[in-house]
Structure 1
Amino acid sequence: MSKKTIKDIQIEDKTILVRVDFNVPLKDGQISDDNRIVAAIPTIKYLLDNNAKVVLCSHLGKIKNEEDKEKNNLKVVVPRLSELLGVEVKFSNEVVGESASNLIKGLKRGEVLLLQNTRFEPGESKNDPDLASKLSEGIDVFVNDAFGSSHRKHASTYGVVEVLKGEGKESAIGFLVEKEVKALNRCVEAKIKPFVAVLGGAKVSDKIKVIDGLLEKADKLIIGGAMSYTFLKALGYEIGKSRVEEDQIEYAKNCLDKAKGKIILPIDHIIADDFQNPTKINVSMDQNINEEYLGVDIGPRTINYFKEELNGSKMVFWNGPMGVFEVDNFANGTKEIAKAIGSLENAFSVIGGGDSAAASKKFGFSELFSHISTGGGASLEMIENDGHLPGIDIIEDKQGEHNED
């Protein structure tokens, strides 16, 4: 089953609403990383080159009060977006309403309008039908190019498609979503063997479903980062002051029983007496961590052990750092494992967004990977849900194909 792409639809003279992901990090009111804007450019350029009238919508940050609205005004994106597209991007200070509607009506072929942050509307995250209906006014076609938001059933990712479908209007995916779906579906189908998954990060509870999914699909599951301490405690090891989810120990035990040796855990650790201001940093002798220490990274023996387990892999999915990579003293495990995955010969390597993508960029290894997802939560949910995400499932299938699930 494949979805209609922007190459399958009539574009010329159409007013096209594109859901993009411009949820970029801001520092002192300025964009600190424009990757998500850059990722949307091929789709927008294609639509402009084919004489469409383009309306863009996106969220930015979390909106709980008026102060959040001031901090997360989407207008901040306009200068960089205009520069990348080589055209002046118009901006609507509202998401829906008379002024937004007039700006949409006034668009000419080859022009772009960016709407205000969709989360300024309280109905966005509730998938409010009234907001979805207003968003669809004056729109001929909907395009989803926001992979990072496709796991959310919001008005701008889902509701608007329902409204347009009811009016007999088309929907499609953009180039970014198409690329993401192709890459991540290879991990979902797990036909390339040996397939090794590498998980890290802080919480087991955030990744229960993805652990279950990967245990079925992968030949090995390497677990590092703070989540490994919960698994080690489940095996009876001492883990000192390390972060542990006590309520997940039973789940970890069940996983280890079910995995039949598939789960690979650290055999030593970099340990410190304090996370933020350490006075003592050491390497543990084995899996155990002394009571006055906490684990902050995988140790040197574990790095070699994980590298051996990765050797010969033909496909790797990686999500989550091996330690506190933001602190240079605790970054080596993540750096070495990232390099090892990226250096595998003839292997298809995928980073599932989030901190792993940030780490690979920090260490200069991004070019080594086959695919780096733009959506951490969305990439994990796609693997959990066997290739399904609501914001993509609702898009029309290609002619002659239908979704039988």
Structure 2
Amino acid sequence: MARFHTLDDVDVSGKVVLTRVDLNVPMKDGRITDDLRISRILPTLHELSRKGAKVVVLSHFGRPDGKPVPEMSLKPVAAALATALGAPVGFAEDCIGDTARAAIDRLKAGGVVLLENTRFHAAEEKNDSAFAKSLAALGDLYVNDAFSCAHRAHVSTEALAHLLPACAGRNMEVELKHLEAALIAPDKPVAAVIGGAKVSTKLELLGNLLGKVDRIIIGGGMANTFLFAQGREVGKSLCEKNMADTARDILRDAVARGCAVILPDDVVVAREFRAGAPSKVVPADRCPADQMILDIGPVAAARLGTILADCRTLVWNGPLGAFETPPFDAGTVTVARTAAALTAAGRLLSVAGGGDTVAALRHAGVAEEFSYVSTAGGAFLEWLEGKELPGVAALAAK
């Protein structure tokens, strides 16, 4: 991974620091329902404030399609951010122009102001040079602390890094260091848990991981497609039967590359998908025709625990079963808790990411016990796929 500057490399005292974060937090009835993204950016904001910077916070919120949408205003988030920071946070009704400049001019050293949703301007997502210059004119330095947006080449995530002295914030720094430790220079053996519904959405990910990890553990609906490709009955399970040839190609490629692909030994099946539905455990090749596979079984979960105990590094993306609906959460919970225990014992570096993955680890009560849990969705997935992330590349170029 190319070298990038951090807050250790810049003098922020008295400077106006444009700080890109991700405040695209889930809200319901005007209240934030998950503040993890806010808590992750606090170290950067506290440090900038403590060092005497004028902290100007940039973020998008929702998908307003390049025009002001009142319900996608960041104004309600400013109050939550102030509570989390334990300090006042100003708010500007626009992110460029006289309105933004006036709000910044009112800042004292150490003060924080949040500018309105950058995506209220269509030029933001077009990475427009004129809009970039308008934003850059407001500040002296640029700090990117939004890895979760780094896969987008937008003005506030990429272009600003070319117009101002730029560095990574602490959240971005920690994320990149863990990602490097997980796949670029990992302690071996390396295992990857890859779950989710469809093989078709994870083809690039699987292709990249085959050359980087020693074991790929496949779960969720994806596993059904691989089981079907091996000639096993999957009943009414979610299964991409048209992807069977592709699944067989992946299995052959894995053998050629010396990567073991681990599929479930046993599975949990039910006639209907609902909470508390009657279910039973059967061997992975004996799913009844009128039932569907909804989780890995206890034998599979125990085997995965043994495999992880023999590994030094784990990358996890996607649940192993329909964890949102008990009793089909047992497999994911069991394996997640095993990984957490190995991490706590210092035997495993565990890095996880993706929206469903974070939710699954929280459901298992171990999200705080992994080495690192990324709040990024698309960016984490694209990184696993081996793609260059524009927001990271721009920092590295500096």
Specify if TM > 0.5: yes
Q: Is the 8 A contact 2:276 2:327 kept in 1?
A: no
Provide the rounded CA distance (Å) in 2 between the counterparts of 1:376 and 1:276: 27
The match for 1:403 is none
Partner of 1:401: none
* TM-score normalised by structure 1 residue count: 0.91
CA contact (8 A) 1:19 1:146 kept: yes
Residue 181 of structure 1 corresponds to 176
| C-alpha contact (below 8 Å) 1:266/1:287 kept by paired residues | no
Q: Could you report, residue by residue, the CA deviation over 1:137-171 in whole angstroms, capped at 9, with x for unpaired residues?
A: 22111100001111111121012223x1xxxx300
1:294-333 Cα offsets, whole Å, 9 max, x none, are 2211112211222222222111111111111111221111
Rounded to whole Å, the distance in 2 between the matches of 1:369 and 1:277 is 28
Runs of 4+ in 1 over 6 A off after TM superposition: none
Report how far residue 102 of structure 1 moved. Answer: 2.1
Per the alignment, residue 109 of structure 2 pairs with: 109
Q: Which residue pairs with 2:76 in the alignment?
A: 76
Distance 2:223 2:131 in 1: 43
Q: How does 1:167-206 map to 2 (within 5 A)?
A: 169-206=164-201
TM-score norm. by structure 2 comes to: 0.92
CA contact (8 A) 1:190 1:218 kept: no
State the aligned residue count: 391
Judge conservation of contact 1:21–1:58 (CA < 8 Å) in 2: yes
The whole-number CA distance in structure 2 between the counterparts of 1:140 and 1:291 is: 65
Q: In the TM superposition, what whole-angstrom CA distance separates every residue of 1:224-281 from its partner, at most 9, and x where no partner exists?
A: 1111111111111121222222443222111001111610001221122222477542
The question of whether the paired residues in 1 share the 8 Å contact of 2:268 and 2:328 is answered with: yes
- Residue 101 of structure 1 contacts residue 137 of structure 1 at CA under 8 Å; is this kept in 2? no
Contact preservation (8 Å) 1:352, 1:373: yes
Match of 1:2 in 2: 3
Distance in structure 1 (CA, Å) of the matches to 2:97 and 2:236: 54
Please report how far the alpha carbon of residue 78 of structure 1 lies from its aligned counterpart in structure 2 after TM superposition. 1.4
**1:402: which partner in 2?**
none
The one of 227, 244, 253 aligned to 2:239: 244
Equivalent residue number for residue 323 of structure 1:
321
Q: Tell me how far apart the structure 2 counterparts of residues 247 and 150 of structure 1 sit (CA, whole Å).
A: 33
Residue 98 of structure 1 and its aligned partner are, at CA, apart by 2.5
> CA–CA distance in 1 between the matches of 2:277 and 2:49?
57
User: Residue in 2 aligned with 1:341?
Assistant: 339
Q: Which deviates further from its counterpart, 389-398 or 298-307?
A: 389-398
Give the deviation of 1:374 after TM superposition: 1.8
Separation (CA, whole Å) in 2 of partners of 1:349 and 1:280 = 34
Distance 1:69-1:246 versus aligned 2 partners, 3 A rule: farther
Q: Does 1:59 align with 2:60?
A: yes
Superposition map of 1:22-101 within 5 A: 22-64=23-65, 69-101=69-101
Q: Distance in 2 between matches of 1:311 and 1:46?
A: 38
**SS at 2:124's partner residue?**
coil
Give per-residue Cα distances to partners, 1:38-94, cap 9 Å, x unaligned.
10011011111111111111112233598x933322112112211222221011122
The question of 1:254 aligning with 2:249 is answered: yes
Match in the other structure for 2:289? 291
What is the distance in 2 between the residues matched to 1:108 and 1:385? 42
8 Å contact 1:4–1:397 — kept in the other structure?
no
C-alpha separation in 2, matches of 1:206 and 1:58: 28
Assess, with a 3 A threshold, how the Cα gap between structure 1 residues 281 and 69 changes in structure 2: closer, same or farther. Answer: farther
Q: Secondary structure at the match of 1:101?
A: helix
Deviation at 1:396, TM superposition (A): 5.0
- The one-letter code sitting in structure 2 at the alignment partner of 1:84 is A
SS of 2:122's equivalent in the other structure is coil
1:300 maps to which residue? Answer: 298
User: Counterpart of 1:54 in 2: which secondary structure?
Assistant: strand
Quick one: structure 1 residues 142 and 247, their matched pair in 2 at CA, closer, same or farther if it must change by over 3 Å?
farther
Matches within 5 A, 1:113-132: 113-132=113-132
In structure 2, the residue matched to 1:133 is: 133
CA distance in 2 between partners of 1:109 and 1:367 (Å): 34
Distance in 2 separating the partners of 1:271 and 1:63: 42
CA positional deviation for 1:220: 0.5
